[in-house]
Amino acid sequence: MEREMLNCPNCDTEIGFKPIEFVDVSTDPDYKEKIMTGQFFLVKCPECGAEIMVEYPVMYMDPDKKLNVYMSPDHEGDLLEQLNSLDVPEGDIDAEAIYRLVNSPTELLEKILLADGGRDDRIMELYKALIVETIREDFPQVQPQDLLYYVDGEEEYFIVWDYENEDGEQLTIEVDEELYQQLREDHIEALGIPANKYAEVDAVWLMDRIEVEA
């Protein structure tokens, strides 16, 4: 991999770093940890110690979970087509494998968490849209994009980014297993993605497929 250079925004020292463009967590479990803590995309200035956030395309693979996420910050509109133009040998086609394209480290993190929680991201996008409709009266500004899935051991919830509850705490909404299963049962077919094809599963993707009413 090519060595890249950047200038420290704090002291202007020129810093060289090697972007890690492929992450296979079956061989490098540390990288998953670093992505989860946000450390992965930080480069430390050897001169002044400042930590600088760098974003570049990363292919994230978790073979155990059959999860493949390509993160490409602010990518071109036809990237998805490019990714899907590659022919997959018949024997490599796996209908259970997940191929996703995302825009940011936050979106990558959410895909990893969803896989950890054993949740289908398509159903969870639908779940988010439903929450937004349900809480519209109290929180008219909330968009599906403001909701982030989080799993911590047994606890699973959506963080409503930048919103607080009555007690001034971060607003969260617990994942209801029954509702999830119901949504899955009713809509998974309509949300199908061809085997071995990448998809950009987000709020916009969902809106193109399903109309959500509370």
Q: Which residues bind Zn ion (CB under 5 A)?
A: 8, 10-11, 13, 45, 47-48, 50
> Based on CB atoms, which residue is closest to Zn ion, 13 or 37?
13
- DSSP at 139: -
Distance CA 158, CA 146 (A): 9
Q: How far is the CB of 104 from Zn ion (least distance, A)?
A: 25
* Closer of 47 and 138 to Zn ion (Cβ): 47
Q: Write out the two tokens for 185.
A: 């049962």
CB 104 within 8 A of CB 73: yes
At residue 28's C-alpha, the angle toward residues 23 and 29, to 5°, is 105
**Under 8 Å CB-to-CB from 57, ≥6 apart: which residues?**
21, 70, 71, 72, 73, 75
Closer residue to Zn ion, CB minimum distance, 11 or 93: 11
Compute the least distance from the CB of residue 150 to Zn ion, in Å: 33
Work out how close the CB of 12 gets to Zn ion at its nearest, in angstroms, rounded to a whole number: 7
Identity of the residue, 20 or 50, whose beta carbon is nearer to Zn ion in the bound complex: 50
CB of 4 to Zn ion, least distance (A): 16
Nearer to Zn ion, 14 or 33 (CB): 14
E strands along the chain, which residues?
4-7, 14-17, 22-24, 42-44, 51-53, 58-62, 67-71, 98-102, 147-152, 155-164, 170-174
CB of 133 to Zn ion, least distance (A): 47
Comparing CA positions, the residue from 96, 117, 114, 6 lying closest to residue 54 is: 6
Min dist CB 14 to Zn ion, Å, is: 10
Closest to Zn ion by CB, 48 vs 214, is 48
Find, among 187, 138, 183, 191, the residue nearest to 160 by Cα.
Answer: 138
